[in-house]
Amino acid sequence: MKIYTRVLYVKGENTVANIVLSRNGKDTPFAIHGKLHVEGSHLIDEKGQICELRGLSTHNLSTYPEYINEEAITQFTDEYGISIFRLALYSAEADDCKGYADGDDAHRADLEKLIVKGVEICAKLGIYALVDWHILFDYNPNMNADMSEHFWNTICPQLKEYDNVIYEICNEPNMDIKRQCDETSWEDITKYANRIIPVIRKLDSEKVVIVGTPTWSQRVDQAADAPLSFNNIMYTLHFYADTHREDLREKLRYALSKNLPIFVTEFGICNAAGDGDVNDEETNLWLKLLQENKISYVLWNLSNKNETSAILKDSCTKTAGFTEDDLSPCGQRFRTMMSKRY
């Protein structure tokens, strides 16, 4: 087994990050691509080649922490072929579980440990880890910007030595439907990014940072018209295939025409509520477009929640060692899509 070792001094302490390069006689995704950066509209590897990552996202780490275990992530790496695993840290309460921002100090510490555990497992498997500050129910990222800054100040020194890590700073800026508040604008997101990215860069200057876009990360066209001034960043597009169709694909094409680097950090093959039927036809159209443009993408979600977008049946109580019978229709479709091109 080959291991990539990086030694750094973090806060005066000698720290070592081991990222596995070879497993089961094969090079790992990290061995193939190494440390990533952004050039033009693409994610680029150490060899100067375009890197297209494909993977799976957790659900809310507060609600479903049990899936952050080595056996489960190993199975998705070895049997499904994922090259990236997304750790969705909800910033605000969801499903009656406190988020990072509205929980107490002990809860925040537990979530930080879970993030580090997930990253360490990914490093052991030689895949990439996407650390996601999951804006959703706190619809505007500026609402909890103080706590976001606290999180990145805390987590970046712990992850600095892991060259397999990518940061995502605001999952889905949106609007507070219950209170009929205005939708989060690109100007709002720009203000937030201009605050948070320098915090990250001061502590961890070389990692790729991904920024969400308005309307649940659909308005990449707005970002394309007024991109941020930072280097080594990408912009998020999210879609749910049964809801978001040609109109959103046109927004993606427009952003690409403006050379905007796009990363689909979350998508679903059902409707935007996470329910309804699996729409194979629209899913295929989306995947074909993403693959033609070498855009990385991550499926939502690893859980047994009673919704279409969960890859496990709600009757599945396992946390690893999943069989075909444990998979929902979404999970079965995910396994198929990881094994083919469109």
- In sequence order, which residues have a C-beta less than 8 Å from that of residue 113 and are 6 or more positions away? none
Confidence of residue 175 (pLDDT cuts 50, 70, 90): confident
Parallel, antiparallel, or unpaired: how do β-strands 84-90 and 128-134 relate? Answer: parallel
Q: What is the model's pLDDT at position 8?
A: 45
The amino acid sitting at 252 is L
Cis peptide before 142 (omega within 30 of 0): no
State the fold for domain 3-338: TIM Barrel (3.20.20)
Q: What is the pLDDT of residue 69?
A: 99
* 3-state SS assignment for residue 251: helix
Per-residue pLDDT tens over the stretch 116-166? 999 999 999 999 999 999 999 999 999 999 999 999 999 999 999 999 999
Residues with a known catalytic role: 172, 266
Give 177's pLDDT tier (boundaries 50, 70, 90): low
Count how many Cα atoms sit within 13 Å of the Cα of residue 37 in the half-sphere of its side chain.
9
Q: What percent of the chain has a predicted confidence (pLDDT) above 90?
A: 86
Contacts of 169 (CB under 8 A, 6+ apart): 133, 141, 148, 152, 192, 193, 196, 197, 200, 209, 210, 211, 212
- Residue 167 bridge partners (DSSP): 131, 209
What's the pLDDT at 12?
39
In tens, the pLDDT along 29-54 reads 999 999 999 999 999 999 999 999 99
Across 215-325, the runs of DSSP E, i.e. the strands, are 233-240, 262-268, 297-302
Residues 234 and 236: their CA atoms lie apart, in Å, by 7
- For 138-280, strand residue ranges (E) read 165-168, 209-211, 233-240, 262-268
Judged against a pLDDT cut of 70, whether residue 62 lies above it is answered with yes
- Residue-wise over 287-304: b if at least 16 C-beta within 10 A, else e? beebeeeebbbbbbbbbb
Residue 280 has pLDDT above 70, yes or no: yes
- Domain regions of the chain by residue span: 3-338
From CA 264, how far away is CA 242, in angstroms rounded?
16
Q: With a threshold of 0.75, does the pTM exceed it?
A: yes
- At 46 the three-state DSSP class reads coil
What distances in angstroms separate CA 16 from CA 7, 19, 163, one per listed residue? 5, 10, 11
One-letter amino acid at 207 equals K
| pLDDT at residue number 6 | 59
pLDDT grade, residue 293 (50/70/90)?
Answer: very high
pLDDT digits (tens, 9 = 90+) for 64-108: 999 999 999 999 999 999 999 999 999 998 778 899 999 999 999
Mean pLDDT, range 317-334, rounded to an integer? 98
**128-148 b/e (C-beta count within 10 Å ≥ 16 → b):** bbbbbbbbbbbbbbbbbbebb
* 219-256 confidence digits (pLDDT tens): 999 999 999 999 999 999 999 998 988 999 999 999 99
- Residue 44 near residue 38, CB atoms below 8 Å: yes
pLDDT for residue 277 is more than 50: yes
